[in-house]
A and B are shown apart, each in its own frame.
Chain A
């Protein structure tokens, strides 16, 4: 499904974007499909989550 294929660079942009706004159905599907195939981007998703939780702990 060529239109659904995105690169790791694009996936990483969406992984950040989804933390700040809603992606909408098409981009969400593209990202989900990419993550299903890509171990590295799943790891980056976890890293972004840890960054966010760590930042909340500063000063606590």
Chain B
């Protein structure tokens, strides 16, 4: 019999899982489905959880698989979004002057270890990813959160490598601008 308190811990992860699934999938219905499947799989598999890792890490690992399944089921729709997004001109162009110099000088984000330990940095990062166009947000998280290789992502989304690289570059550039504006440690955050 699976441990009941462990089952309770898994169920309590639902809001956190839903937030991650929404961020990655950018579709409410798909996110709900992926999280439901994750919770079912986790509860069924609890007997196989031996506590070598934190329960949360284990369940998030399951969520990543379910998200990928969901992308595969919705491939066509996701691919069309990505193509549309790649075809649009880059709205981040105003970050540079016509001579190729930046409008704003990038500031130091401090010691990476300390920055990464700040809950606020991760909070603002999530808010910033949420503001990206859907295709850019999906691509960035597939690459950096799901840690998929770029050729694999391009193939999943039916994108040419060039379009993949362009969208990832736009996503990263916008995210660093967003963090500079909104994170307290960023250069231009309101003080």
Contact = CB atoms under 8 A, between A and B. Distances in A.
Given A20-B143, A40-B105, A44-B106, A51 B16 contact: no
B175 A51 contact: yes
Contacts, number: 99
Given A55-B141, A60-B57, A12 B150 contact: no
B164 interface: yes
Given A44-B176, A47-B109, A52-B144, A21 B150 contact: yes
A33 interface: no
Nearest to A20: B150
A7 B100 CA distance: 5
Q: Give the interface residue-count category, chain B.
A: 35 or more
Interface of B: 16-17, 20, 23, 56-57, 60, 63, 96, 99-102, 105-109, 112, 115-116, 121-122, 125-126, 129, 140-141, 143-145, 147, 150, 161, 164-165, 168-169, 172-173, 175-176, 179
Given A16-B169, A54-B121, 12 more contacts: A7-B101, A13-B169, A20-B150, A40-B102, A40-B105, A40-B106, A44-B106, A46-B108, A46-B109, A51-B179, A54-B116, A58-B122
